[in-house]
Amino acid sequence: MSDRGSPSTAQAPAAADLSPPSLAPPLAPSLAAAPLVSIVIPVYNEEGILQGSVLELQDKLKKFGWSYEILLCENGSRDRTVEIGKQMEADHAPRVRMLSIGQPNYGLAMRTGILEARGIFVICDEIDLCDTEFYARALALLERSDTELVVGSKAMVGSNDQRPVVRRLATRVYNGLLRAVCQYSGTDTHGLKAFRRDALTETARRCVLDRDVFASEFVIRAHREGKKVLEIPFTVREKRPPSINLLKRVPHVLKSVARLAVSVRQK
C-alpha cells in the first residue's frame, strides 16, 4: 500500500487544545477583505431544520470571534428550502450566502461551494451536524501545523458515531471498497472536512465525479497529490435521520467507485 494513500491520524486533542486558534497576523480578519473561514453546507429539502441550524451555528460561532461566511449550497429542493435560505441570506448577509444550483446533487453542491468560498480556511459541514467543536480542533491543526486538509473520521479510534448500526456498517463497507479499488487506507472520506483554501482549491477543481462520491474523490486525490492530510475522530450526532434511503444510494455509488478508481489515477 503506497504512502500516498495513508493519511496521518490523530487522537482527539486534550480539552486544553480545543480553544480556537489564535488569529495572529496575517490571519486576523481585520486585515483581510475575505473572511477567515468559509463554511460550506450542501442542503436539500431541509425546510425543517435549515433556519434553526443556521441560527444555532451563528450563535456557537460567536465565541470564536472569527470572521466567517456560511455558504448554503442547495440544489433541486422541492420544499421551502430555497425560500428559507434566501430569507436567511437577506437577513444575515454577508455572513450567510445562498447558492442554488439546479438538480439534486450533493457532490456538485459541495464542489461549487468550495470553488465559491473566499475564506482562508474552508470547512465542509452538513446541516444536520454543524459541529463547531470539530471546527475549533481542525483550525487549530491547520494554523499550528503544516497540515493542509483535516478529515473528520466517523470510524477511527476515538470517534463517536451515534448513527444506527446499519449506517455505521455501511461506512465501513464503503471504506473497505475504497481500500480495495483505490488503495486508500484512511478510515472515512465522508466526514466533516477543513482545509486551507489555497492548498486544496485546484484539487476540488480537478474532481470529475459528483453526487455521493465527490467527497471521496476529493480526499483520495488530495492524498495522491501529496497534500498533508490528517484524520481526526469526531462525534456524529445528527439532528434528524437522512432524507435519502441508504439502499437507494447503493447502485450509483457502486458504479461511481469504479470510475473513481480510474479518475484518481489521472491528473
Ligand X SMILES: Nc1nc2c(ncn2[C@@H]2O[C@H](COP(=O)(O)OP(=O)(O)O)[C@@H](O)[C@H]2O)c(=O)[nH]1
User: Which residues contact ligand X by CB under 6 A?
Assistant: 41-44, 46, 73-75, 104-106, 109, 126-128, 242-244
| Minimum distance from residue 91 beta carbon to ligand X (Å) | 20
Nearest Cα neighbor of 98 from 83, 76, 79 is: 83
Q: How many C-alpha atoms does 83 have within 13 Å on its Cβ side?
A: 5
C-alpha cell recorded at residue 197: 483554501
Instruction: For residue 13, give the DSSP letter.
Output: P
Q: Which does 127 bind (CB under 5 to 8 A by kind): ligand X, Mg ion, none?
A: ligand X
Specify whether the backbone of 245 is left (phi greater than 0), alpha (psi in -120 to 50) or beta: beta
| Minimum distance from residue 191 beta carbon to ligand X (Å) | 10
Which CB sits closer to Mg ion, 20 or 48? 48
Which CB sits closer to Mg ion, 72 or 142? 72
CA 256 to chain centre: 19
- Which residues, listed in sequence order, are joined to residue 41 by a DSSP beta bridge? 72
> Going edge to edge, which strands form the sheet with 229-233?
8-9, 229-233, 149-153, 193-196, 121-124, 37-43, 68-74, 96-100
| Minimum distance from residue 192 beta carbon to Mg ion (Å) | 11
Could you check whether the bond before residue 26 is cis, i.e. omega within 30 degrees of 0? yes
* Contact footprint for Mg ion (CB under 5 A): 128, 238, 242
Q: Which does 38 bind (CB under 5 to 8 A by kind): ligand X, Mg ion, none?
A: none
| Minimum distance from residue 75 beta carbon to ligand X (Å) | 4
Which CB sits closer to ligand X, 43 or 155? 43
Q: Which does 42 bind (CB under 5 to 8 A by kind): ligand X, Mg ion, none?
A: ligand X
Which CB sits closer to Mg ion, 131 or 143? 131
C-alpha cell recorded at residue 244: 435519502
Contact 74, 101 (CB under 8 A): yes
Which CB sits closer to Mg ion, 97 or 154? 154
| Minimum distance from residue 266 beta carbon to Mg ion (Å) | 31
Q: Which does 109 bind (CB under 5 to 8 A by kind): Mg ion, ligand X, none?
A: ligand X
